[in-house]
Structure 1
Amino acid sequence: MHRLPFDSLKAGDKLAKSVFSHEGRKLLPVGTVVNEDHLNILYENNINDVYIEDDNSCFINLPRAYCEDTQKQAKMLMEQHLESRSLVPPVNNPKVKDTICKIMDEMLGSEDIITCLANMKFLDEYTFEHSLNVCLLSLVMGIGIGYNLRRLEDLGVGAILHDVGKLRIPESILKKPAKLTDEEFEEIKKHTIYGYKILKENKDISMISAFIAIGHHERYDGSGYPLHIKRNNIHECARIVAVADVFDALSTDRVYRKKMKLNEVIEYITDFSTNYFDRDIVNNFVGCLPLYQVGTGVILNTGERGLVANANKVMPTRPVVKIIYNRKGIKLKRNYKIDLTKKSNVLIEGVCEL
């Protein structure tokens, strides 16, 4: 969509945003196909410009100051994540942190990328922050896999712009507070294709980044969208971003659901690593998570409490637990161990002091 002066508006143009009078009264709803009567309404209400849908452009001509503010906010959020260790997994290695900072400075210095981010922020604050989080998580995974700087840059650009295609989705669908209809969900799915086209048309952006946009909702078993491709037919960078995308989405509060606990998110991702995700990428990711270190006090869903006796790098939510207190809260004279990999119905509910 783009902003169009009233003098250039013509019958047949489709509104990308609702039009309101200067008093706040809705004149025309989003999606209206303009006719002569509509032009008269806009003229009589002194409307100077409107937003229209345009297949050739999904970007709004935002003020330069807005783009500069977006750039500053993006850099500030990145620095806060890295310094406060709010990112999971945390970036403790100085070399890893320096590499991420170098890549982020490079990306956030690009006018094209900032234009995309500013438009995404203008459309939806959540999508903006989610994109930054997914980028950081993806870079951590890429470094863990051993990507060189050039590949990390392509991964970072694709990750931070993986949802750029949402700029071509009608706002009425994207921000709908209720459950989407089947037709609306099919429209949402198109953001992967739109994103691919947007990035592919930019000569300064690698095709790897475009492959991420179209592939981050594909699943390892072919059950994803839009192409329903499987396994190694999905670009490896897209498989990385798929994990980061789901991890951040489940870790964040939304209007329609509460965020999941860290152990629940990891449990979900590891459980579906055979069907949905690349198991090697998931294993690399969860291996970095400082979830339940040896000696950590935990409480089980059975009511029992104990200490982590052996950490599990492959399945970090299922360590071996040495039981100190039984389900009635009575301290045991003889302790015993539970291997949670062998007790699928027993889960850690949280960390506790013993």
Structure 2
Amino acid sequence: MREISVQRLKEGDVLAKEIYSSSGKILLGKGVVLKPQFIYRLKQMEMYSVYIEDDLTSDIIIEDVISDKHRFEAMRAIEKSCKTIQDDKNKEINIKEAVSNIVQDILFQREIMISLMDMRNMDNQVYAHSVNVCVLSCVLGKGLGLPIEKLNELAQGALLHDVGVVNLPAEILNKRSKLTDEERELYNSHTTQGYELIRNKAQTSIIVAHMAYQHHEWTNGKGYPRQLKGNALHPLAEIVAIADFYDCLIHGSPGIPRVLPHVACEILMANAGVRFRKELIHIFLQYIASYPTGYTVKLNNGDTGVIVGQNKGLPMRPIVRVFEGNRPQVRVTEYDLAKELTLFINYVIE
């Protein structure tokens, strides 16, 4: 399989991974042959990309670090929690089972390299973002050697980190161009709102509330809402902040247009020691594929290829499969960029 921009889909392409609704229902199943009306619907949903079948990359299997079942159970849990809070902020919420399943899935993985992009759309983006931040936070937490009790607490805080956006206008949440001063002030209030919504819940600790409160604080003291600095930040909130920032970069967020994963990794590195502690960024990036498996890229020698594998510890130097000639006479060559030192990726073809 390989990843392709929705804008480049054509009639007859075959889906390699299911497309889900925010409730976890399959909208288009694996193996569906795309018709013009299906492609039009995907564009209407404002999906960026999907995975399609390709006989030249049929051996590539891109697995998520958690099961589809547990991902969508978590999406339903955070959606239910947000709606519960909207209806009655005094009602209790229960996400412990959902986050426990995510933690167990991640602990079960021997080697982790985040390569799969979740197929989110405008209808489920808030919930998909929350789950992705939960997954990314747990991956970093595991990399730091946190005990399971701390991982579960981290997962709860990460899943609930953006609960303060529940009452924000959709036009702000969906906006990717620069926010006005008034919009930015309203958006920035979600950290304080989230803290207030969580801190009195019997099912969550005050530390979970502080993860929502502090996930936009910077280690240099220039974040918000309280301009906390250095050791004043809770360590679990620092983890959530990195996961949140990365996911916002690769999928877009209010006032921030999306960028490709390798650009997001460069931005993270530039913010090491500024927004985030250097050691946390160093560990986090060990688990992130700068060029995810399935992406199509152009090499500096002019060849076009598909990323088919990763080199752990060298996220910028994946394995690329190049195709020359026309079907059925196609010659296939694979380049391991960890060994081919004169080759590098010029750009990603979306």
- TM-score band, normalised by shorter chain: 0.5 to 0.7
Report the Cα offset of residue 318 of structure 1.
7.2
Matched residue, 1:159: 158
Aligned length: 240
Aligned counterparts, 1:98-247, within 5 A? 115-118=80-83, 125-171=124-170, 173-175=172-174, 179-247=178-246
Give the match's secondary structure for 2:347.
Answer: strand
TM-score, structure 2 as length reference: 0.54
Give distance in 1, aligned partners of 2:25 and 2:209. 23
Give distance in 2, aligned partners of 1:128 and 1:255. 15
TM-score, structure 1 as length reference: 0.53
| Residue 292 to residue 183, structure 1, CA distance change in 2 (3 Å) | closer
Matched residue, 1:349: 347
Report the Cα offset of residue 227 of structure 1.
0.9
Deviations 1:103-142 (A, max 9, x none): 997x7897xx553244699996321111111111111111
User: Quick check: 1:73 aligned with 2:38?
Assistant: no
Deviations 1:244-268 (A, max 9, x none): 1121122126798763222111111
Deviations 1:39-78 (A, max 9, x none): xxxxxxxxxxxxxxxxxxxxxxxxxxxxxxx99936999x
Aligned counterparts, 1:265-344, within 5 A? 265-291=264-290, 313=313, 316-317=315-316, 337=341
Q: Pick the structure with greater CA Rg.
A: 1
Give distance in 1, aligned partners of 2:251 and 2:85. 18
8 A Cα contact 2:179 2:254, kept in partner? no
8 A Cα contact 2:175 2:254, kept in partner? no
Give distance in 1, aligned partners of 2:86 and 2:202. 23
Deviations 1:142-198 (A, max 9, x none): 122122222111111111111111124345644567643212211211100010111
Identity %: 31
Deviations 1:84-112 (A, max 9, x none): 7465xx46xxxxx7xx96x997x7897xx
8 A Cα contact 1:131 1:163, kept in partner? yes
Report the Cα offset of residue 316 of structure 1.
3.4
Report the Cα offset of residue 199 of structure 1.
0.7
| Residue 225 to residue 350, structure 1, CA distance change in 2 (3 Å) | same
Gaps of 5+ in 1: 1-69, 92-96, 320-334, 341-346
8 A Cα contact 1:317 1:348, kept in partner? no
| Residue 348 to residue 206, structure 1, CA distance change in 2 (3 Å) | farther
Give distance in 2, aligned partners of 1:210 and 1:240. 14
Give the match's secondary structure for 2:258.
Answer: coil
Give distance in 1, aligned partners of 2:212 and 2:252. 24
The one-letter code of the counterpart of 1:73 is S
* Structure having greater relative contact order (Cα 8 Å, sep ≥ 6): 2
8 A Cα contact 1:215 1:238, kept in partner? yes
Report the Cα offset of residue 284 of structure 1.
1.4
Give distance in 2, aligned partners of 1:292 and 1:263. 6
8 A Cα contact 2:191 2:212, kept in partner? yes
Matched residue, 2:329: none
Give distance in 2, aligned partners of 1:193 and 1:255. 17
| Residue 177 to residue 152, structure 1, CA distance change in 2 (3 Å) | closer
8 A Cα contact 2:164 2:190, kept in partner? yes
8 A Cα contact 1:266 1:317, kept in partner? no
| Residue 146 to residue 75, structure 1, CA distance change in 2 (3 Å) | farther
Give the match's secondary structure for 1:73.
Answer: coil
Matched residue, 2:43: none
Gaps of 5+ in 2: 1-19, 31-60, 88-121, 319-338
8 A Cα contact 1:119 1:167, kept in partner? no
Give distance in 1, aligned partners of 2:252 and 2:272. 23
Deviations 1:258-309 (A, max 9, x none): 632221111111121121112222111211234579xxx9856696999xxx
The one-letter code of the counterpart of 1:218 is E
Give the match's secondary structure for 1:204.
Answer: coil
